[in-house]
Amino acid sequence: MTTTTYTMPMDTPVGPLVLESDGDVLIGIWLPFASSKVEDTAGTAPQATGAAPRATGAAPQATGPAPRANGPAPRANGTAWVAAGTTRGATHGLSAGHDAPPVLKETAAQLDEYFAQERTEFDIPMELDGTEFQREVWAELTRIPYGKTISYGELARRVGRPNGPRAVGQANGRNPIPIIVPCHRVVAGNGIGGYGGGLPLKRALLAIEGVRA
């Protein structure tokens, strides 16, 4: 069954984001990504995009909602979009002149508070589409407190995979709702590690929370 999803652009202090919803819950946040390579989330090897892109999605459009087939289009300045998830169906981009589902408005409001350092936790209805193991990793990410970081090895131990930091790193990199599900709070044992949106964005998010990396 095809499910219609909606995307809404949002300008933030760390760059433009695209929020995605099925009309009832948040299902994705697209990060700007301008580089051709990024260190993988476990900090061990390069990969082409950092996070697996959705098969469908939309960029902000100049006029009215219209279905798109293959994800957000590149911005005029050459920025690509990166996110994770699976195909939901036809996606409609919402321009400033069209109303957005309430969940997208609330997500934008809470993100604004986060970037202003006025919010340390989020209260947004979400649905994270992934395997059972991926959802287990993503649930553990939400338990990392604001302003704290853990290593990929520690994350692996917390989900019962003490010998699998690479596996949890890959699941971390496929997190479809970054920032709210804080994969940026996981770092390598010998450095910052990688991030689907690029290391400058990861450092900026950690800096908002008072973490130097």
pLDDT digits (tens, 9 = 90+) for 7-26: 999 999 999 999 999 999 99
Does the annotation mark 99 as catalytic?
no
Domain boundaries, the chain: 5-40+48-115, 132-208
Q: Tell me what pLDDT residue 70 has.
A: 39
Rounded Cα–Cα distance for residues 28 and 176 (Å): 5
Q: Tell me what pLDDT residue 107 has.
A: 98
User: 132-208 sits in which CATH class?
Assistant: mainly alpha
Residues in the chain predicted with pLDDT less than 70, given as ranges, are: 1-2, 33-98
* Residue-wise DSSP of 118-152: --SS----B---S-HHHHHHHHHHTTSPTT--EEH
Place of tokens 């770092």: 187
What secondary structure letter does DSSP report for 188? B
Catalytic, out of 10, 59, 128, 183? 183
